[in-house]
Structure formats: C-alpha cells, structure tokens
C-alpha cells in the first residue's frame, strides 16, 4: 500500500472508487467509537477529508483512512484505517468499523470460513458434544440441524445477530451473496490481531451491518497512546448467480491479503510413514482380536477404541499399509479386513460402525448400546470405497487370489444394499438401521462417500446400475447442498453441522465420476466442491504464541483443515483422504491452484508429528500426532497452539494415506513444471527429448527415500493407488544429487 495521503482531491478520488464498489451491494462503510460492547448505537462523527471529531462522554477521536485501488480481474480496494482518541476517556470500550447494507434479506448467504455458512440459518437444538439428531427429527426427511450455542442468524423475520473472533475462521474473511442483487461482497482482513466480528440484522431483515472491531479490556483510562485501532483490509464486490460462485471466487482470492506462505522442510514423507507404521504395528494392533484399533491411549475405556469402520480409519488404513508397508503390515491389513467383514457386516449387507472386544455398537453416539444399532451412511460409503481399492491393489499385484475371492462377494453385497437404500428413499440419509436398512436419520451430505464407492464398484463389478445411482446421488448433493453453499453430516458426533469431511468425500466422488464418464459437468461440480472445501483450509501462516507447543516448533498453520463449525479448531490433515483427488483435478484442468492447495495440506501436515529428535510435548511419543491445531481461543487463551492431549489415530491414518499416495515430487512433462510436496529441494536443470535432468537435495537430518511421479500424458487416467509407478530415489541426510529421469 501507499503512504498516508491527505490531499483532498486524491482522497476523494480513491474514496469515490470505494463508494462505487460498495454501491453495487448497496453498502457503505463508517468507522465508529462506542462506549459499550453492544454495536447497536455507534457514536459517529462528521467526516471531513478523512478526519472525524466526536465527543462520546466528553472525549474526541479521529480516524485516518488510506485507499488504494487493486488491479485484477475482480474489482478491489485496499484500505487502511486507524482510530485514536484525542483526550483521556474512561468509557470508550469499542473501536472499529461498520459496513452497513440496505436491501438486505434473510435469503442472503453469509460466510465466515470454517465458522459460518449461510449465516448458520439452520434449525437449532439445545445440545452439547456429542451432538446427534434426536427422536422428534427421526424417521422423516429433515433440513440440517445444528446446536444452538454456535453463532447463527435467525431463520425467522426477527432481528438477529452473531459474534465471533477473527481467529475462529480458517481465513481472515467475512462475505455474503445477495440473490436479489446477484452480487457478492468479500472482505479480506490482514490478521494483525484477533479482531472481533459481528453481524447484525434489523427486525424486518431489510438492513444489516458487518462489523470488525477491538474491545478495550478493563476500565482503564484511555488515550491515543494506549488505546487505538488499526486495521488493513481489502474489499471485493462482484457478480454472482449462486453462493457457490462466491465460494469459487473466494478460493482464488483467499491469500491475496496475507500473501504467500512459507514452507519449512523438517521430516520427509517416508520417515513419517515409517513412524506411523511402527506405531500401528505396536500400540494400535490388537493381536488377540486381529485388528487395528482406532482409539488413542487416552480413550482405551471407550467403546469406540476398537475398530471404527471408515471414518476414522477402519478399512482405510489398510490401503497405505498394503501400498507402501512392510510384509507384516500387509499381512495384518488383510487380517484386519477379514475381521471387519466377518464381525461388522450384517446379513443385510450393511456395516456396523463400531466393534470392540467381540461387541458391536451403534453409531448413535449418545446411545451406542441402544437397539436398533444404527450405522452411518458415511462409514458404509467409506467401507465400500476403500475395500474395493484394497482388492484392486491385491489383484494388480496378482497376489492373494483366494483372499480376494473370499472378500469380493461381501463387497458386492454392500454395494447392492446401498443401491436398494437409494431406490427406497432417493437418498442415503445419515443413519439407518443396519439390520433392516430402514432410514432413521434423513438429510445431510453424509452419504457423499457412497458416490465414490458406487462409482468404483461400477468399474470393479462392471455394473452400469451402480454408476447410475452414483450419478443420481452426486446430482442430489450438488443441487440440494453444495450449490447452496454448504455440505453437512460427515462427522458422526457433530449432528448436521456444515463440515469439511462431507465436502472432500464429494470431491472424491465427483472426480471419480469424471474420470470414469468424462462428462464435463462432473468436472465443473468437482471444482465447485473444492472451492467450498478450500474455505475449511487455513490460508495463512498464523503466528502461534512463542512458548506454546506449536510456537516452539515454529509450525506453519497454512494447510491445516477444520472439521466442522462445532469443532472450532483445525487439524493436520484431511479426514480421511490423501488429497490425491486434487492432483487429478490439476491433471484435468492444468490449473495450478489445485497443486498449491494440495501442497499446503500435505507438506505442512507432517509438522505435527512428534519425533525422538523433537518431541512436541512430554506425552507425545515418536509417531504421535494430535488433532489440535488451535488457532482460536475456543479452549482458552492458554491452549492456543497447545492442548496436545495425546495421539489421534485418525490423523495417524491420514498421514499414512498422504505420505504413501502423494509423490514427493510431481513433474508435468508437457508443461515442464515441477511441484514439490515432500520435504526436499528440487529443480529441473534440463529437459530433452528422452530424459529430464533434475537437481535434488535432502535438507533434513534423515536419510530417506523420495518418490517421483513423472507425468507424461495427462489424458490418461491415473486411477487409484499408483505408488508402484513412482520412481524412487534415496538420499542421505543433507545429500545433494543430480538425477537423470527417463521419459
């Protein structure tokens, strides 16, 4: 930005551009000083050339504004604002700015990334974690339901408001889409402090204000040296037809105010895989029951510390272990699959969600022993999708023919019963009676994982009916949910809150449909799904408190993924996908934004792994990784960057997935582009007709093996699980090599 500019002509010209930008969404902007933290009666002065004088409680204040137009495809203005008091003053509690909008409507879609979707205008219930759909809302179709303590705007015409903090968001932003005006407003904020955010709607819902402000702590004398307000932000306003248009534009712009993030090389993928593999073959393996458990040591007494199907790992962790694991891991993975299919599949073909020490449990988290035992649509979709991938790995290796022949009929039975549920209900719902297939909890996007499962089943079993059902389900989830700016119901204990897990499940399914059918509409739908998913991914390098666990390790928060609006924290990885679908989207589109998003997630995810050389805390042993990436203060100020209570097996599984399925280095031969995902320095030195010369350096303290994906033909689908096709290169700690790769 430029320097402060007080020449009236220049100020008025820039102010005119800002006014014109806001006029398109019927808005205006005004700084304010208030005596109380109510945001209802702002004390505003008369503004003259950027200077304002007012006297709340016999005090005066002034503000300064600097404007700068931003060139680009989407019109934007950068603004800097500072407010300070001119006299001692005991009761000025709040300083900030309001964006006031007329022609407002309850139909406006309001967004705060990872915190507020569609203004969180959903039915609310009075419930604390774990939250589930209760009896009155079962056995009939429903719209999404969220707990009432979350910030939300009203569904009815009454006045309403919500408040939250800037650090409750994955990206420092607030936005809305107006279906009446067919325009969107996006405010990106430079995160210099944890500003307060508020949205207030008038009683008749025709006016609203979006506020960004700071609150004075304590009742101390205030003057221009010890209480002032400074903020820098960027304003966009642009044409949109649907909420998804706002989200797609947000995806492209979300880093514009914070700038590029920094990648720090610490632990190679292969070292992380080895740590997690060792952990799973020691602490996580139950030899008497022949299964990998999905419970951390802090929850061994809980029923869900046995096998949890699909979300959060059962039938999923076997895949990376069979792709890249040692002989023990591969043998145990087959044992684990056999245990799951023997103990957890009902005669109906559907799967139970939880199994521990010979006992089955319900996916109703508040009534896990109550009959009928319920199963999640999400878990059953996960089970089908990953079971088939495991069978593909074995068939491609031409091994374990008898095992494959034994398991295939069980997979077929699961696919058929999911088809029958769709035919009976025209949706997969969220929870069903495992014995009968009767739908108990309708609605949500929980069954998005079934889209990928049935799409893959259509290829595996050569059954076009599976593909037709997968396509019909994808259309439902896209038009009913995603197009309106949210997906819901992925996590089993977060009722029907908007979430990232159902979002990426939908990405995976839509990418599979495009790869199989080559129909362009699925590519468009998939890119829209990623745009929505991007709102759940931390977009900037948040500065953790220096003495916190993550601060001491200089962790870069960019790429951490928030689960849902109920769990107000990020986590190290995608639950439970490697992210390979993003690499496929790059291959389909040539748009590097997908490579960048994938790198943010997978490169930075390994920062959270505790190692012998650098333990994150005393209770975090080598291989342990906690789901907490606390940017917000939802667990208290002391737990920002901390509360690493122990290892979370679902994150361990996610790291097994990404470190086995995402190559260390991806080279697009056609474009001559090299992308590094792993912790390695790499560059192309020369490309000739038959070979590529690259320079590699291992900047870490570990000797390791890196994988290279040499992509010669992006028109050829890469399918599933291609680690065997990656070229492997071994480097000692700090070793540098020049390597010739044959095309």
Q: Which of 194, 223, 253 is the last residue of a domain?
A: 253
| Residue 52: Cβ within 10 Å count | 21
d(CA 511, CA 456) in angstroms, rounded, equals 11
Q: Averaged in consecutive runs of 10 residues, what is the pLDDT profile of the chain (743 residues)?
A: 30 70 94 68 35 42 88 93 71 84 96 98 96 97 98 92 97 98 98 96 92 76 62 97 98 94 97 98 95 90 94 95 96 97 98 97 96 98 97 90 97 98 98 98 98 98 98 98 98 97 98 97 98 98 97 97 97 97 97 98 98 94 97 96 96 97 96 96 94 97 97 84 86 97 89
DSSP string of 629-685? B--S-TT-GGGTT----S--HHHHHHHHHHHHHS-SEEEETTTTEEEE-SS-EEEEE
**Phi/psi of residue 312, nearest 5 degrees:** -125, 35
Looking at residue 220, its pLDDT comes to 46
Nearest to 666 by CA among 586, 738, 568, 737: 586
- The reply to whether 673 and 651 lie within a common domain is no
Q: Residue 592: count other Cβ atoms within 10 Å of its Cβ.
A: 14
Q: Are residues 452 and 574 in the same domain?
A: yes
Q: Are residues 210 and 308 in the same domain?
A: no
The neighbour count for residue 58, using CB atoms within 10 Å, is: 8
Q: At what angle do helices 501-517 and 377-396 cross, to 10 degrees?
A: 50
Q: Are residues 355 and 449 in the same domain?
A: yes
CA nearest to 250, candidates 268, 267, 238, 264: 238
What secondary structure letter does DSSP report for 349? S
Q: Output the CA angle 59-60-65, nearest 5 degrees.
A: 145
Q: What is the pLDDT of residue 36?
A: 63
Q: Looking at the domain assignment, is residue 433 inside a domain?
A: yes
Q: Using alpha carbons, select from 540, 533, 511, 509 the residue that is nearest to residue 524.
A: 511
Domain boundaries, position 463? 269-621+630-662
The CA-to-CA distance between both ends of the chain, in Å, stands at: 46
Question: Within a domain: residue 366?
Answer: yes
Torsion angle defined by CA atoms of residues 462, 467, 470 and 472, in that order, rounded to the nearest 10 degrees: -160
What DSSP element (H or E) covers 540? Answer: none
Q: What is the CATH number of the domain that holds 422?
A: 1.50.10.20
Q: Which pLDDT does position 87 carry in this prediction?
A: 57
| Cα–Cα dist 116/152, whole Å | 7
Out of 638, 662, 686, pick the residue that ends a domain.
662
Tokens of 134: 């209760």
The count of domains in the chain is: 3
Same domain, 500 and 374: yes
Q: How far apart are CA 471 and CA 114, in angstroms?
A: 28
Kindly report the CATH number assigned to the domain that includes residue 720. 2.60.40
Number of Cβ within 10 Å of residue 690's Cβ equals 8
Q: Among 221, 253, 285, where does a domain finish?
A: 253
**Is 238 a member of any domain?**
yes
Q: Does a structural domain hold residue 129?
A: no
pLDDT of residue 11: 41
Contacts 24+ apart (CB under 8 A), 712-716: 712/669, 712/670, 712/743, 714/587, 714/588, 714/590, 714/668, 714/670
C-alpha to C-alpha distance for 335 and 321, rounded to whole angstroms = 12
Calculate the dihedral angle through the C-alpha atoms of 211, 212, 218, 223, rounding to the nearest 10 degrees.
-110
Cα–Cα distance for residue pair 166/188, rounded to 1 Å = 11
Q: Are residues 532 and 676 in the same domain?
A: no
Residues 732 and 709 in one domain: yes
Kindly state whether residue 456 falls inside one of the protein's structural domains: yes
pLDDT at 51: 37
Q: How many residues does the chain have?
A: 743
Residue with tokens 């002509």: 9
Based on the domain organization, do 702 and 687 belong to the same domain?
yes
Q: Are residues 577 and 719 both part of a single domain?
A: no
Say yes or no: 83 and 164 in one domain: yes
Residues 673 and 658 in one domain: no
134 belongs to a structural domain: no
Q: What is the pLDDT of residue 587?
A: 96
Per-residue pLDDT at 43: 36
Whether residues 105 and 211 share a domain: the answer is yes
516 alpha-carbon distance from chain centroid? 26
Does a structural domain hold residue 333?
yes
pLDDT for position 299? 86
- Residue 309 placed within a domain: yes
Task: Give the ranges where 196-326 is alpha helix by DSSP (H).
Answer: 243-253, 269-282, 318-324
Cα–Cα distance for residue pair 667/684, rounded to 1 Å: 9
Q: Which of 15, 8, 31, 9 is nearest to 82 (CA)?
A: 31
């Amino acid at each position: 930005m430029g320097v402060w500019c007080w020449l009236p002509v220049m100020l008025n010209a820039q102010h005119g551009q800002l006014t014109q930008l806001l006029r398109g969404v019927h808005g205006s902007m005004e700084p304010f000083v208030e005596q109380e933290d109510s945001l209802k009666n702002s004390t505003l002065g008369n503004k003259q050339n950027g200077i304002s004088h007012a006297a709340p409680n016999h005090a005066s204040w002034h503000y300064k504004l600097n404007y700068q137009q931003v060139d680009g495809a989407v019109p934007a203005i950068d603004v800097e604002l500072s407010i300070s008091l001119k006299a001692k003053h005991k009761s000025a509690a709040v300083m900030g700015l309001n964006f006031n909008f007329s022609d407002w409507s309850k139909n406006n879609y309001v967004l705060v990334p990872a915190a507020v979707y569609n203004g969180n205008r959903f039915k609310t219930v009075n419930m604390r974690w774990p939250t589930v759909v209760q009896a009155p809302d079962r056995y009939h179709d429903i719209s999404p339901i969220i707990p009432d303590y979350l910030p939300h705007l009203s569904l009815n015409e009454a006045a309403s408001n919500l408040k939250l903090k800037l650090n409750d968001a994955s990206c420092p932003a607030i936005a809305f889409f107006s279906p009446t005006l067919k325009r969107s407003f996006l405010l990106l904020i430079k995160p210099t402090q944890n500003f307060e955010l508020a949205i207030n709607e008038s009683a008749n819902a025709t006016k609203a204000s979006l506020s960004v402000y700071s609150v004075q702590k304590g009742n101390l004398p205030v003057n221009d040296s010890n209480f002032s307000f400074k903020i820098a932000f960027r304003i966009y306003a642009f044409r949109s037809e649907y909420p998804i248009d706002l989200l797609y534009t947000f995806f492209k712009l979300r880093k514009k105010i914070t700038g590029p993030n920094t990648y720090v090389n610490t632990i190679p993928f292969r070292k992380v895989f080895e740590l997690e593999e060792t952990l799973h073959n020691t602490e996580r393996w139950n030899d008497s029951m022949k299964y990998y458990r999905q419970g951390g040591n802090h929850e061994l007494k809980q029923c869900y510390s046995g096998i949890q199907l699909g979300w959060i790992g059962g039938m999923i962790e076997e895949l990376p272990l069979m792709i890249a694991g040692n002989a023990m891991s591969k043998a145990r993975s087959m044992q684990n699959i056999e245990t799951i299919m023997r103990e957890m599949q009902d005669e109906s073909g559907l799967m139970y969600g939880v199994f521990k020490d010979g006992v089955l449990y319900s996916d109703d988290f508040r009534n896990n022993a109550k009959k009928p035992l319920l199963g999640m649509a999400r878990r059953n979709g996960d089970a089908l999708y990953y079971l088939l991938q495991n069978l593909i790995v074995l068939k491609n290796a031409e091994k374990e023919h008898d095992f494959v022949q034994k398991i295939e009929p069980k997979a077929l039975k699961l696919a058929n019963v999911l088809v029958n549920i769709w035919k009976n209900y025209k949706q997969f719902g969220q929870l069903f009676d495992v014995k009968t297939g009767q739908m108990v909890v309708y609605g949500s996007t929980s069954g998005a994982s079934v889209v990928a499962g049935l799409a893959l089943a259509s290829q595996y079993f050569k059954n076009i009916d599976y593909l037709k059902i997968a396509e019909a389900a994808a259309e439902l989830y896209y038009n009913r949910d995603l197009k309106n700016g949210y997906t819901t119901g992925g996590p089993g204990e977060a009722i029907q809150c908007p979430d990232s897990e159902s979002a990426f499940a939908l990405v995976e399914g839509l990418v599979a449909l495009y790869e199989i059918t080559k129909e362009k509409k699925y590519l468009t739908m998939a890119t829209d799904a990623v745009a929505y998913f991007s709102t759940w991914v931390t977009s900037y390098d948040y500065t953790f408190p220096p003495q916190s666990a993550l601060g001491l390790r200089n962790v870069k928060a960019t790429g951490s993924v928030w689960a849902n609006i109920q769990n107000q924290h990020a986590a190290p990885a995608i639950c439970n996908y490697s992210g390979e679908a993003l690499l496929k989207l790059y291959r389909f589109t040539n748009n590097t934004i997908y490579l960048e998003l994938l790198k943010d997630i997978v490169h930075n995810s390994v920062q959270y792994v505790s190692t012998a050389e650098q333990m994150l805390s005393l209770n975090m042993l080598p291989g342990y990784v906690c789901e907490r990436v606390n940017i917000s203060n939802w667990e208290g100020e002391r737990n920002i960057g901390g509360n690493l209570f122990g290892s979370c097996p679902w994150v361990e599984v996610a790291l097994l997935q990404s470190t086995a399925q995402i190559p260390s280095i991806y080279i697009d031969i056609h474009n001559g582009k090299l992308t590094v995902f792993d912790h390695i320095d790499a560059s192309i030195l020369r490309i000739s007709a038959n070979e590529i010369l690259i320079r590699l350096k291992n900047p870490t303290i570990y000797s390791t093996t890196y994988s290279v994906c040499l992509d010669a033909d992006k028109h050829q689908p890469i399918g599933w699980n291609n680690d065997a096709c990656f070229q492997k290169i071994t480097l000692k700690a700090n070793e540098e090599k020049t390597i010739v790769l044959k095309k």
